[in-house]
Amino acid sequence: MSSRGNPLFSATFLALLIISLTVALRKWHFTLREKGFGDAAPNVDLSGEELLQQLNERRQELVPFYTTSNRQQLAVFSSVNPQKSDTLGGTTPPVTAGSAIGCSELSGMTVVDVLGAGYTKTVLKVVLQQGITVALKSVNEQGADMRSCLEDFRDPRGCQELVSFKLRKEIILLQRLQHTNIVKLRGQCQDSGLVGGIVAVLEQGTPLQMIQLLQSPWEERFRVCFGLVRLLQYLSQSPLGSVALLDFQPRQFVMVSGELKLTDLDDASVRGPSCQTDSDCLLQFPLRNFTFSCSAHGVCEGLNEMRNLYNAYRYFFIYLLPHQAPAALKPLVDRIMNTTGELKQSVNETLGAFEEVLHVYKSGLHLQNLPPSIMEEFAAVKGMRAVGNMQYRCWPSYEQQACVLSVHNATEAAYVCSSHPECTSFSLSNQTTWTGRLLASFRSGYSQMLPDVSSTVYVKSTKALPAML
Ligand SMILES: Nc1ncnc2c1ncn2[C@@H]1O[C@H](COP(=O)(O)OP(=O)(O)OP(=O)(O)O)[C@@H](O)[C@H]1O
Ligand SMILES: *[C@@H]1O[C@H](CO)[C@@H](O)[C@H](O)[C@H]1NC(C)=O
Ligand SMILES: *[C@@H]1O[C@H](CO)[C@@H](O)[C@H](O)[C@H]1NC(C)=O
Ligand SMILES: *[C@@H]1O[C@H](CO)[C@@H](O)[C@H](O)[C@H]1NC(C)=O
Ligand SMILES: *[C@@H]1O[C@H](CO)[C@@H](O)[C@H](O)[C@H]1NC(C)=O
Ligand SMILES: *[C@@H]1O[C@H](CO)[C@@H](O)[C@H](O)[C@H]1NC(C)=O
């Protein structure tokens, strides 16, 4: 990958990096030797060497992220410094500037919940003194990564450092890759007194619950898939090049206000596999294999992007997209399922197909065959809202104890009401979903109507009539 920035700057930076790594390595070496003498175990020094080698490899892995020239790297760089540092503000504040959260803001925090824990990291929900709620990501001391390191090397400090590199990598990536569908880095802190190592301060989300998502309206499931495709489009042309998510599973994502966001980036890879012939460019999945061509530069063309897209298909689209899609959108959705399942189109073209679905859905073009006469069965009462607990449940409702569905307009709502035997009225307010569709509340009756300028109640005349007499 070529450096696009000032070459002198990059060279100076690299030199600084190497000096710092050397110093850090010496320090580790020293610590390990000291321990070695204490234990007097002959093999400790050997495994110490191996740990040093692994630490060095992890450092090497971070180098490409610094060298793709960007002044933000300075901020990241200084976090290699073992002293206390909260460096997000750095020289070039990223988007999160102004609200950057560092060690001092974390000092008065209260831990309120555990949001998640994986092989490598633990995520806590904390409330800062200023009342802001954030997610705090740190090394999982009880995680599988830490445990296997301790088994191999029996060096708690060395292992802490080794595992921390994954979190460091994630922090750098979160600084360099900014997108609506990537969790926002709100700050960081390195302070051994706090949680023993480096922590990332993230916007708080909720872990992705696939079961819950499966039960939500198609519109919300489509939103998740659409967000994913926009993310993949960004990753395919990111400031770091084409990024592949090697560990691509629902648990790497969280939801923030209905929007899907990537949170686990430690397994992201910036380089495509290198190759000599096309046969080196094989992409294997349990049910399908794909081959790509090896470019003149010796990289597999499009492999990173297509790996992400097929994973999106097998972990998300299959479960979320076809099920309960509006009948008129089915052909478009089926085509997306087919082109992604067979990797027949690029991420770019797939995004285009998603945008087309969204356009048709938003514009109500798929409803053109609704009988307009259906409205004649309903009497509109403007400026009123129905109350009383004569609600019924329907599926998949936006509210658990009631029947609330999204509609394009009153005609579509009338059509829905006519198809539910319980429905005798519905109301529309100015509340909308993410696509701008209206939320309609369907009822089996009401005890009274109250004035509400933003609401209209539509009463089914044939059923309402006897009650009024
Ligand atoms: N910003 C956040 N808000 C809420 N929950 C989060 C957030 N970030 C992560 N989580 C939860 O914490 C879990 C662990 O985080 P993460 O995936 O980064 O750790 P990990 O050790 O790399 O996990 P894995 O073993 O799955 O690779 C996630 O699966 C997710 O459910
Ligand atoms: C994929 O390729 C591997 C290695 O060549 C082979 O063993 C496997 O059977 C192939 N799988 C499918 C589904 O074609
Ligand atoms: C795509 O369509 C072709 C032709 O209709 C069909 O044979 C194939 O099984 C489909 N693939 C997927 C993944 O849906
Ligand atoms: C994807 O689309 C964008 C805008 O439509 C275009 O600028 C870009 O070059 C396309 N990328 C590829 C790989 O086709
Ligand atoms: C609702 O939208 C459909 C489809 O666009 C249209 O045919 C119908 O006239 C609209 N009804 C109202 C009340 O605007
Ligand atoms: C709906 O209308 C009411 C009354 O006009 C207003 O107070 C409220 O902010 C509106 N809500 C939305 C989501 O537009």
Domain holding 256: CATH number? 1.10.510.10
Domain-terminating residue out of 351, 366, 381: 366
Could you say which residues of the chain have pLDDT below 50? 1-44, 69-98, 463-469
Q: Where are the alpha helices (DSSP H) in 177-254?
A: 210-214, 218-236
Q: What is the pLDDT of residues 136-175, one digit of tens each?
A: 999 999 999 999 999 999 999 899 999 999 999 999 999 9
Span from the CA of 423 to the centroid of ligand 6 (angstroms): 26
Do 335 and 350 belong to one domain?
Answer: yes
Residue 430 CB less than 6 A away from ligand 2: no
Fill in the DSSP letter of residue 317.
I
User: What's the CA gap between 362 and 328, in Å, rounded?
Assistant: 13
Do 75 and 147 belong to one domain?
Answer: yes
Q: What is the pLDDT of residues 231-257, one digit of tens each?
A: 999 999 999 999 999 999 999 999 999
pLDDT of residue 124: 96
pLDDT of residue 90: 36
Q: Which ligand is nearest to the CA of 414?
A: 5
Task: Give the CATH number for residue 79.
Answer: 3.30.200.20
* Mutation test residue for ligand 6: of 432, 454, 455, 456, the one with most atoms within 8 Å of CB: 454
Residue 279 CB less than 6 A away from ligand 2: no
User: What's the CA gap between 272 and 138, in Å, rounded?
Assistant: 29
pLDDT of residue 194: 54
pLDDT of residue 99: 62
Span from the CA of 187 to the centroid of ligand 1 (angstroms): 17
Do 30 and 126 belong to one domain?
Answer: yes
Domain-terminating residue out of 366, 382, 403: 366
For 49, the enclosing helix (H) or strand (E) is helix 44-67
* Mutation test residue for ligand 4: of 229, 237, 351, the one with most atoms within 8 Å of CB: 237
Domain containing 216 equals 208-366
Do 212 and 190 belong to one domain?
Answer: no
pTM of the entire structure? 0.83
Task: Give the CATH number for residue 440.
Answer: 3.50.4.10
3-state DSSP: the chain helix, strand, coil percent, rounded to 5?
45, 25, 35
Specify the number of domains making up the chain: 3
Residues contacting residue 291 through CB under 8 Å, at least 6 positions apart? 278, 279, 281, 282, 283
Do 318 and 444 belong to one domain?
Answer: no
Torsion of CA 176, 141, 245, 227, to 10 degrees: -70
Span from the CA of 237 to the centroid of ligand 4 (angstroms): 9
pLDDT of residue 96: 40
Do 47 and 193 belong to one domain?
Answer: yes
Do 66 and 179 belong to one domain?
Answer: yes
Do 7 and 102 belong to one domain?
Answer: yes
Do 54 and 181 belong to one domain?
Answer: yes
Do 130 and 85 belong to one domain?
Answer: yes
pLDDT of residue 60: 85
